[in-house]
Amino acid sequence: MTLNRRNTVNADFTKEDLAFQDEARSFLDSEFPAEYRAKIDASKRLSKEEIVNWQKILYKKGWAAPSWPVEHGGTGWSQIQKHIFETEMGLIGAPEPVPFGMKMVAPIIMTYGSAEQKARFLPDILESNVWWCQGYSEPNSGSDLASLKTAAVRDGDHFIVNGAKTWNTYGQYADWIFCLVRTDNTVKKQEGISFLLIDMKSPGITLKPIYLIDGQPEVNEVFFDDVRVPADNLIGEENKGWTYAKVLLTHERTNIAGVPRGKRRLRALKRIAGETDDGFGNSMMDNQGFRNKLASIEIELQALEYAELRTLASISTGKAPGPESSILKIVGTELAQRIDKTFVELAGYHCLPYVPEQFEDGFQGTPLGPGNSAAAALTYFNNRKASIYGGSNEIQRNIICKAVLGL
C-alpha cells in the first residue's frame, strides 16, 4: 500500500509490512487462547473475565492500544500496520479490545482532559483494570442525540446528575461511565452539553437490563437519581461536550467495515454448507443457487475491502477520516447482516429451537445442527442492531448526502 510512492496504483504491502504481518500472525497463533477461539467459532460469548484476560495479554505485549500515541502507551504503528493487525485479529475471531475505554473515552481524555485526568484514567484503561461504558443515547434521544435531557446542575464543587440513559452496552460489567449531560437549557441544544465521567458505584445510579430479541441482556437503561459527581470529573470546558463527542463519533465509525470478520464467516458458511445435507443426496455446497449466493457475498467483501484500503491510503497521507467512513459503516453492517441471513437460510429447521444454554459454558448436550447452525437465527436477530447503532445507517446516508454530494 504505497500509493504515494509509486507511479501506478497498487495495493502491495512493503517488505517491512509483510514482516510485521508475520509477527502479528505468530503472536496471535501462540497467544490468543485456543479455548477462546473455539468458543467464538461455536458462537459462544466470552465472559467478562475472558475478555479482560485477553486484553491483558495484549497489554503485556504492548499491543493493547494501537490507536494511542506512543507517549500514552500506543504502539507507534503506521495506519497500514494497524490495519494489518486488525485484519489478522478478525480473521481468527480474536476480539478487539472493548471500544468504550480504549477507543471512545481515552481519545477524548487525551485531547481535552487535564494532566491530572490523563494520569488518573489512562493507565487503567490501557491495562484493562477499569471497564468503561457509554452514556449517550436517551429514551427520547436516539438519532437526534443533541436533544438529550439528562441534567447536571452545579452544586459547589459537584454536579448533581438526574436523568436516564439507554442502550448502554455491558453496563453490568462497567466501573465507570462517560456521559453527555445537559448543563445549560437556555442556549442552542448543541451548546449546552457537557462531557462528564461518572463512577458507576456512585449512590443514586441504578441499572435495568434491556433484553433484546435474542433474549440476551446485552444493553441497559441507566438511571441517575441525584447522583453527586465531583466537578473534577468534567472533561474540558463546561458546555463544550458536543464538540468533543462529535470527534468521538468519528472514532466510533472507523474499523466498522468488518472485512476480516466477514471473510472468516464466509469460510464458516462454506464449511457448514459442506456439512449440510441438501435433502437430495448432496451437500448444500453442491447447490448452485447457494453457491451463487456465497459468490455474491465474496464479491461484495472484495469491493468493501478495496473501499476500505482506499480510505486507509488516504488517511495514511494525513487526511482525517471523513464521510468516507460512512460508506464503510453502511456497507460493512449491511453485508454482515446479509451473511447473518445466509446462515439462517443454510440452517433451515436447525435454527428454530430457542436453546440459549447451548451457547453457554458447561453445556453438555449435542449441538442441534451442523456446525453452529443452531445459533443462526439468534445471531440474525441480534445483529439487526448493527444498522441502528453507531449513528444509524439513515444518519450515515444523510452524512453522505450533505458532506459528499452537497445536497
Partner 1 sequence: MDFSYSEVQQMLQDSVQKFVQKSYDFTTRSKIIESEDGYSKENWRLFAELGWLAVPFTEEDGGLGGSAVDLIVMMEEFGKANLVEPFVATAVLSGGLISELSNGERKSELLEQLVTGKLQLACAYAEMGSRFNLAKVGTTATVQGDKVLINGKKIAVLNGSNADQLLVVARESGEDIDVDGISIFLVDAASEGLVINSFTNIDGKKSSEIVLENVSVPASSRLGDAGSALSALQKIVDRATVSVSAEAVGAMELLLQKTVEYSKTRKQFGTSIGTFQALQHRMADMFIECQLARSIVVMAAMRLDSAESDLEKTKAVSAAKSRVGEAIRKVGQESIQIHGGIGMTDELDVGHLFKRVTALDIMFGNADYHTERFASL
Question: Rounded CA gap, 276 and 273, in Å?
Answer: 5
Question: Rounded CA gap, 138 and 156, in Å?
Answer: 27
Q: State in angstroms the smallest separation of the CB of 142 from partner 1.
A: 5
Under rule CB under 8 A, residue 296 binds partner 1:
no
Residue 25, SS3 per DSSP: helix
Q: Which residues pair with 194 in a beta bridge?
A: 181
Under rule CB under 8 A, residue 352 binds partner 1:
yes
Q: Give the range of 85-93, 106-114, 134-142, 248-256 binding partner 1 by CB under 8 A.
A: 134-142
Residue 34 DSSP symbol: H
Q: State in angstroms the smallest separation of the CB of 37 from partner 1.
A: 27
> Which one of residues 26, 147, 296, 302 is an interface residue with partner 1 (CB under 8 A)?
147
Query: Within 13 A of 103's CA, how many CA atoms are on the CB side?
Result: 14
Cell output for 13: 504491502
Under rule CB under 8 A, residue 226 binds partner 1:
no
Question: Mutual orientation of helices 259-275 and 288-316 as an angle, nearest 10°?
Answer: 160
Rule CB under 8 A: which of 150-189 touch partner 1?
166-167
CA–CA–CA angle 250, 55, 113 (5° rounding): 45
> Which one of residues 144, 155, 225, 286 is an interface residue with partner 1 (CB under 8 A)?
144
> Which one of residues 121, 170, 244, 290 is an interface residue with partner 1 (CB under 8 A)?
290
Question: Rounded CA gap, 306 and 130, in Å?
Answer: 36
Question: Rounded CA gap, 352 and 295, in Å?
Answer: 26
Q: Which residues pair with 49 in a beta bridge?
A: none
Whichever of 79 and 137 has its CB closer to partner 1, that residue is: 137
Under rule CB under 8 A, residue 348 binds partner 1:
yes
Whichever of 157 and 280 has its CB closer to partner 1, that residue is: 280
Of the listed 252, 300, 360, 394, which one is catalytic? 252
Give the residues lining the site for partner 1 (CB under 8 A). 137, 140-144, 147, 166-167, 210-213, 215, 276-281, 284, 289-290, 293, 337, 341, 344-345, 348-355, 368-369, 377-378, 380-381, 384-385, 387-389, 392-394, 397
What residues are labeled active site? Answer: 252
